[in-house]
Amino acid sequence: MSPAKRAVDVVASLTGSLLLLPLFAVIAVAVRSDGGPVFFRQRRVGRHGREFHMWKFRSMVVRAEQTGPQLTAHGDPRITRVGRWLRRTKLDELPQLFNVLAGAMSLVGPRPEVPRYVALYTPTQRAVLALTPGITDPASLHYVDESALLAEASDPEALYIGTLMPDKIARNLAYAQQATLASDVAVIVRTLLAATGVGRR
């Protein structure tokens, strides 16, 4: 990661965290309404294969990972009422601003995978691990309706491993070849529009 990109990450994530504190508080109260914890953390694989804990606002029932697959399709019964709203608006991702501040993530970069799926990467696909993972990326924008695609599949995991995951890796590697601060800003703006429904296809 270039010094300029890191500087933008730190300033933007710190400023965003401070400005969004009131919203954080409202979300925390809403998530706690079902008696479970506010945050959910999950092991993900970051740059150079280093594992870290990625944070989210909890959008599923407690111990959801023990009661179903790691992939979450549209209509998954494990998603809470508040969680449906958080996922639709992408607000569940906001705690990752702290991952950005800590240096484990960037604002824009390939979404970090769980170790189980990274273990399936081909040698060519492992090139994506040279990049700092991010909160958003071009592949996420292309697959903004990924949960709906998974819900329609007879075997969601087979679809993800065989088609979606390889294509997302290819898109992110291609983007990294020509990424600039200006293009990163464009990805962030498109992500915000998609979260509000304006940028959805």
pLDDT in tens, 64-107: 888 888 888 888 999 999 999 999 999 999 999 999 999 999 99
- pTM of the prediction? 0.91
Q: What percent of the chain lies above the pLDDT cut of 90? A: 85
Rounded CA gap, 31 and 107, in Å?
24
Classify residue 200: in a domain, yes or no: no
> Is 134 inside any structural domain?
yes
- Supply the pLDDT for residue 79: 94
Map residue 136 onto helix, strand or coil: strand
Does a structural domain hold residue 111? yes
Q: Are strands 106-108 and 134-136 parallel, antiparallel or unpaired?
A: parallel
Count of domains for the chain:
1
Q: Which residues 6+ apart lie within 8 Å of 169 measured at CB?
A: 110, 121, 125, 128, 139
On whether residue 31 sits in a domain, the answer given is yes
**pLDDT tens digits along 107-136:** 999 999 999 999 999 999 999 999 999 999
Mean pLDDT of 176-184: 95
Q: Is 197 left (phi over 0), alpha (psi -120 to 50) or beta?
A: left
- Say whether pLDDT at 201 is over 50: no
Q: Is residue 162 part of a domain?
A: yes
The single residue listed with the structure tokens 């706690």 is 32
Domain boundaries, position 170: 3-195
* Mean pLDDT confidence for 192-196: 87
Residue 100 belongs to some domain of the structure? yes
In a domain, 201, yes or no: no
